[in-house]
Amino acid sequence: MDEAVRKRLIEAMARTVIAHADELTELDRQIGDGDHGLNMKRGFEAVLEALPATAAKPLPEALKGVGTTLVMKVGGASGPLYGTFFLALGKTIPDAPTATTLAGAFAAAVEAVKARGKSQAGQKTMLDVLVPVAAVLSAGGADLGPRVRAEALAAAEATIPMKAMRGRASFLGERSIGHPDPGARSSALMIVAVCDAIGA
Amino acid sequence: MTRKPQVNVGVVIVSHSSKVAEGAADMVRQMVGEAVPLAFTGGNADGGLGTDVAAILAAIDRAWTPAGVVILVDLGGAETNSEMAVEMLDEARRGRVSVCNAPIVEGAVIAATEASGGSPLEMVKRMAEELSPQ
């Protein structure tokens, strides 16, 4: 994968997160502690700052670089969770991924997030987007990009009726029902940004 | 009879709030004294509420002893960030640092009390965790 493509993909994710910071914070204010947008914005601003150096590296190292930056800069629970995702993705992905190797690396990254958060799908977290998207990637087939994009958005919406069982939203119990999960939303935004950036 | 110089387990307190972290550390100091290496950190990199992996790594370093370090945390992100920090330690230290599943203030006091008696890492962690509902 050439440097321009790496730069475009990482930049697309970062710009989307930064552009939606207020929306993410507002979602988090409803069921969490209201810092998700701000934390993610801080992390991805640092990613943008490091982007020229990051994008110059092969894809595995570039993704690990993004992960390390997020771990160190985001704070909150989302820093180590997203950081772990990108670190694990970078550890498994080849420099020139195919649909198959991407699916494998994405699945490994999702497993790493499960271990870090001690969580599973169905608990109103980012995993409720990452797990179904991993399934679409693993199944493969035609029009993969548009299907991944649609799945990510639908899966984030599907967290609305869920009851939170992890993180601070879990303190709200039943009251967490009726709001989308901010982490699921930020995951969907990033996945959509990548799909759009590769023209899928 | 020669006696090995006593090296006590260190205690790190990680809260979303620097005031909570500092206050819990004050209580430990008053109740347990200076026998235990103690460090605390609270707040994110911008000084707001939150936790910061780099600051947690620095706190582990300040409280480090060859006997190891236990970490007491408050809410979700403090635990996740502390576990992340432990994984980022070099291999020699990684196995000697443990995040406790215990209430932050009571856990810190109990852990420090146990550590001040020279108990090993596993025992210090176990005593703190006995405070948690099973």
Express each pLDDT in B38-61 by its tens digit.
999 999 877 888 899 999 999 999
Partner A contacted by B18 (CB < 8 A):
no
CATH of the domain at B52: 3.40.50.510
At residue A35, the 3 state secondary structure works out as coil
Partner A contacted by B88 (CB < 8 A):
yes
> How close A136 comes to chain B (CA, Å)?
28
- Cβ atoms of B83 and A116 within 8 Å: the answer is yes
Give φ, ψ of B64 to 5 degrees.
-65, 135
Q: Do A76 and B54 touch (CB under 8 A)?
A: no
Rounded mean pLDDT of A132-145? 96
pLDDT band at A34 (very low <50, low <70, confident <90, very high): confident
Rounded mean pLDDT of A99-118? 96
Q: What is the pLDDT of residue A3?
A: 94
State which residues form the domain around B69.
10-129
Express each pLDDT in B105-133 by its tens digit.
999 999 999 999 999 999 999 999 998 77
- Cβ atoms of A107 and A85 within 8 Å: the answer is no
Higher pLDDT, B72 or A165: B72
- Cβ atoms of B69 and B99 within 8 Å: the answer is no
- Closest alpha carbon within chain A to B56: A72
pLDDT reading at A50 higher than 70: yes
Express each pLDDT in A56-98 by its tens digit.
999 999 999 999 999 998 877 889 999 999 999 999 999 999 9
Tell me, yes or no, whether B5 lies in a domain. no
Q: What is the pLDDT of residue B3?
A: 53
Tell me, yes or no, whether B61 lies in a domain. yes
Give B123's Cβ-side CA count (13 Å radius): 12
Please pick, among B13, B14, B16, B60, the residue that the annotation labels catalytic. Answer: B16
**Beta strand B69-73 with B10-15: parallel, antiparallel or unpaired?**
parallel
Q: What is the pLDDT of residue B4?
A: 52
Q: What is the pLDDT of residue A194?
A: 96
B16 is catalytic: yes
Nearest partner of B116 among B65, B42, B61, B62, judged by Cα = B65
Domains with residue ranges and CATH for chain A = 3-197 (1.25.40.340)
CA distance A56 to A8: 12
Looking at the structure of chain B, the number of domains it has is 1
pLDDT reading at A55 higher than 90: yes
Contacts of A79 in chain B (CB under 8 A): 53, 77, 80-81, 84
pLDDT reading at A30 higher than 70: yes
Q: What is the pTM of this model?
A: 0.86
Express each pLDDT in A146-180 by its tens digit.
999 999 999 999 999 999 988 777 778 888 899 99
- Which ipTM score applies to this complex? 0.72
Q: What is the pLDDT of residue A31?
A: 85
Which of B44, B75, B83 is facing A75, going by the closest CB pair? B44
